[in-house]
């Protein structure tokens, strides 16, 4: 996709006005769009940041107006639509998606007042888009053209088509009417909106703006399918929808004078159940009995809040994805950029869920999962996990646990109270979930440090725990960026280069320096293909730890740009990480986040003439 994905519908509308009129004023934009001055100003800020990539500037001068300075030809692509280069392409996609019969090329040419050749050229542009969704544009002999694929795939495509031109803002809920009218009947949308608003008000369910958006879009798809008499055939047997879903179905049937089929009712119920689960913080997980076990076996460290949050989110997410229902995370790009470690954990978990439940989570779903991991990391920043070993009986052990928590509630989390026998037999994997073992008896120290204290937690025992925690804190502060990067790890060039070539250069260096194994290049490209790590001027490519011998950081800088398909950055931080960095992982990601989110620092790195200047900027905090 083109970089335009960072511009929403309002941004595009305002940008088009400026490009058409060359100089405009706030009043002009307000009259054309109906937006307030504050809203316009916010979107101009967004457009200004976005246009930096095209080396043109958005200027705002009192008494002069708003204009774009520079070669506007460079941003012509910005005015193109996400799924094609004009509204005809959008309309074609919509007609082919929702039609229940083949469409002839000549009939399409007559509808759009275009030549047959022009239609054929547009259809050629459509095919690669459909390939991404594993659906095809087939010719049915003399009957015409028809989109073929599973109902799930076509539903996903139709939802994404609508999502792109729907824009939720804090001050208003709008959709790009002119564009959407080429996809879904505008009157249908307005009626669905009205019924949805009534339903939300009367049901007292707590919908977010994006939850409402998701429901409305899928109602539009469902009602379009019903009107075309196209039901989904993968009916969920024995599924009973909840009371609120029945209430919504009744309102829809009365409004549109239709009968909602069971299959479509099941789709709606997934949306409603998700909202109810979020409100009640509980959900029936009987359909996924192994989910909690899967999480506990495959997540290295967790607390009960993380486990509960993931089960709560994943249970409806698995059902939703299995049915082809989309969900959008408006913070997706910010999550990927700012919570790198959490997003990687989310991708790993997504792979596990995909393998067990035969569903595939997209970047939006993964970024929601990442938020659960990030919340856990934030909770753990100042907390040490401990096992408490006590041989005086459970009553004494529980009393000691409560006294420890009273004195160290913000620093300690007790994972479990163990007997000496249980401690000696606990697996190394389980043991390493703790940072410290506190015991009331002398026990042999294994891979985790041990503190032996008085079972009555006297002053001396409290001091012992304090000293132990201080030692752990100091251990976590020995991380130094120099441990991961040397002069030869930094590459600065003054010419354009492809991402694939940078991967090849860095991989060969890493193998020669005995930091990585053969296959590292392929592993980096495979990870990047899974989910892009490019954000604004920076990319953060990395590979599976199986291909890394020793943790290291490589930096590749090109003022002219590093290109990957439709994306371009100027700085790449190659993260080659393995188990040796685990004790310092939090510190590393904290430092990395400070660097990549500091625009001033990144700009200085981009302007650096050699590796010494890059390293100097990295070290400056």
Q: Which residues pair with 450 in a beta bridge?
A: 437
Average pLDDT for the chain: 79
CATH code, 216: 1.10.1790
Question: Among residues 249, 299, 252, 244, which one has the least CA distance to residue 274?
Answer: 244
Q: Give the C-alpha separation, 120 to 102, whole Å.
A: 15
By the 8 A CB rule, do 146 and 140 touch? yes
550 or 138, which is more confident: 550
C-alpha distances in Å from residue 163, one per residue of 147, 496, 547 = 20, 34, 38
State the pLDDT at residue 283. 46
Q: Which residue, of 475, 492, 507, is where some domain finishes? A: 475
C-alpha distances in Å from residue 224, one per residue of 87, 135, 258, 477, 559 = 20, 19, 12, 59, 49
Q: For the chain, what is the radius of gyration of the CA atoms?
A: 28
How is residue 144 annotated by DSSP?
Answer: -
* Residue 256 maps to a domain: yes
pLDDT, tens digit (0-9, with 9 covering 90-100), for 338-389: 888 899 999 999 988 888 888 888 888 888 888 888 888 877 765 788 999 8
Q: Which of 67-71, 137-141, 277-281 has the lowest mean pLDDT?
A: 277-281
Q: Give the C-alpha separation, 65 to 61, whole Å.
A: 5
User: 491 pLDDT exceeds 90?
Assistant: yes
52 or 171, which is more confident: 52
Provide, rounded to the nearest whole percent, the portion of the chain with pLDDT above 70.
80
* Residue 174 maps to a domain: no
* Residue 564 maps to a domain: yes
Q: Which residue, of 411, 443, 475, is where some domain finishes? A: 475
By the 8 A CB rule, do 292 and 349 touch? no
* Residue 100 maps to a domain: no
Residues 329 and 302 in one domain: yes
pTM above 0.75, yes or no: no
* Residue 459 maps to a domain: yes
Q: Which residue, of 475, 494, 525, is where some domain finishes? A: 475
Give the phi and the psi of residue 69 in degrees, each rounded to 5. -110, 135
Element (H, E) at 429: helix 428-431
Residue 438 confidence class, pLDDT cut points 50, 70, 90: very high
Residues 494 and 533 in one domain: yes
The neighbour count for residue 486, using CB atoms within 10 Å, is 14
Q: Give the C-alpha separation, 619 to 610, whole Å.
A: 15
* Residue 452 maps to a domain: yes
Q: Which of 144-148, 165-169, 412-416, 422-426 has the lowest mean pLDDT?
A: 165-169
Residues 492 and 581 in one domain: yes
Residue 437 confidence class, pLDDT cut points 50, 70, 90: very high
* Residue 319 maps to a domain: yes
Residue 309 confidence class, pLDDT cut points 50, 70, 90: confident
Residues 302 and 347 in one domain: yes
CATH code, 453: 3.40.50.2300
State the pLDDT at residue 81. 37
Residues 428 and 440 in one domain: yes
* Residue 305 maps to a domain: yes
User: 428 pLDDT exceeds 80?
Assistant: yes
State the pLDDT at residue 53. 65
pLDDT, tens digit (0-9, with 9 covering 90-100), for 523-550: 999 999 888 899 888 999 998 889 999 9
∠ CA 172-176-177, rounded to 5°: 110
Residues 429 and 510 in one domain: no
Residues 200 and 307 in one domain: no
User: 413 pLDDT exceeds 70?
Assistant: yes
The domain tally of the chain equals 5
Residues 359 and 268 in one domain: no
Question: Among residues 128, 24, 132, which one has the least CA distance to residue 84?
Answer: 128
By the 8 A CB rule, do 344 and 278 touch? no
Torsion of CA 103, 105, 108, 113, to 10 degrees: -170
Domain that holds residue 11: 3-79
pLDDT, tens digit (0-9, with 9 covering 90-100), for 170-208: 333 344 444 444 456 667 777 888 898 899 889 888 776
């Amino acid at each position: 996709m083109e970089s335009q994905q960072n511009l929403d519908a309002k941004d595009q509308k305002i940008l088009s006005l400026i490009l058409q009129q060359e100089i405009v004023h706030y009043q002009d934009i307000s009259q054309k769009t109906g937006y307030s001055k504050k809203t316009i100003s916010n979107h101009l800020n967004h457009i200004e940041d976005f246009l930096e990539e095209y080396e043109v500037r958005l200027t705002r001068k009192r008494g002069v107006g708003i204009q774009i300075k520079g070669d506007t030809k460079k941003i012509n692509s910005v005015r193109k639509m996400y799924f094609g280069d004009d509204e005809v392409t959008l309309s074609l996609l919509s007609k082919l998606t929702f039609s229940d019969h083949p469409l002839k090329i000549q009939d399409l040419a007559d509808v759009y007042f275009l030549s047959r050749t022009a239609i054929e050229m547009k259809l050629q542009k459509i095919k690669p888009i459909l390939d991404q969704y594993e659906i095809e544009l087939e010719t049915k002999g003399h009957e015409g053209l028809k989109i073929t694929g599973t109902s799930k795939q076509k539903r996903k495509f139709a939802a994404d088509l609508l999502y792109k031109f729907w824009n939720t803002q804090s001050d208003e809920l709008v959709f790009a009417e002119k564009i959407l009218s080429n996809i879904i009947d505008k009157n249908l949308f307005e009626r669905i909106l009205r019924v949805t608003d009534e339903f939300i008000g009367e049901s007292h369910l707590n919908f977010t703006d994006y939850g409402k958006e998701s429901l409305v879009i899928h109602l539009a798809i469902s009602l379009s399918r019903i009107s075309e008499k196209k039901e989904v055939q993968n009916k969920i047997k024995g599924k009973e929808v909840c009371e609120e879903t029945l209430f919504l179905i009744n309102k829809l049937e009365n409004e549109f004078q239709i009968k909602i089929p069971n299959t479509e009712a099941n789709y709606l119920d997934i949306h409603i159940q998700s909202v109810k689960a979020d409100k009640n913080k509980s959900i029936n997980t009987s359909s996924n009995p192994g989910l909690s076990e899967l999480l506990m076996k495959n997540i290295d460290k967790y607390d009960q809040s993380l486990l509960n949050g993931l089960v709560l989110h994943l249970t409806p997410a698995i059902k939703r994805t299995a049915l082809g229902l989309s969900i959008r995370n408006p913070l997706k790009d910010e999550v990927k950029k700012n919570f790198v470690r959490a997003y990687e954990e989310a991708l790993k978990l997504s792979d596990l869920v995909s393998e067990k439940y035969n569903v595939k989570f997209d970047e939006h779903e993964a970024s929601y999962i990442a938020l659960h991991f990030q919340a856990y990391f934030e909770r753990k920043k100042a907390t040490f996990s401990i096992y408490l070993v006590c041989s005086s009986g459970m009553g004494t052990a529980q009393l000691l646990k409560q006294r420890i928590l009273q004195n160290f509630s913000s620093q300690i989390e007790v994972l479990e109270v163990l007997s000496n026998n249980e401690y000696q037999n606990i697996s190394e994997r389980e043991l390493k979930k703790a940072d410290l073992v506190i015991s009331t008896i002398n026990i042999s120290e294994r891979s985790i440090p041990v503190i032996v204290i008085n079972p009555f937690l006297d002053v001396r025992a409290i001091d012992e725990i304090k000293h132990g925690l201080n030692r752990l804190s100091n251990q976590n502060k020995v991380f130094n960026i120099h441990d991961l990067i040397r002069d030869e790890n930094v590459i600065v060039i003054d010419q354009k280069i492809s991402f694939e070539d940078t991967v090849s250069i860095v991989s060969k260096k890493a193998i020669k320096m005995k930091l990585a194994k053969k296959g590292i290049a392929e592993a980096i490209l495979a990870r990047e293909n899974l989910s892009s790590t490019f954000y604004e001027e920076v990319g953060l490519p990395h590979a599976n730890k199986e291909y890394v011998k020793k943790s290291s950081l490589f930096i590749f800088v090109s003022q002219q740009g590093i290109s990957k398909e439709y994306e371009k950055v100027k700085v790449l931080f190659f993260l080659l990480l393995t188990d040796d960095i685990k004790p310092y992982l939090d510190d590393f990601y904290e430092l990395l986040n400070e660097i990549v989110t500091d625009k001033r620092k990144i700009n200085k790195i981009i302007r650096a003439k050699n590796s010494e200047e890059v390293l100097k900027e990295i070290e400056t905090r």
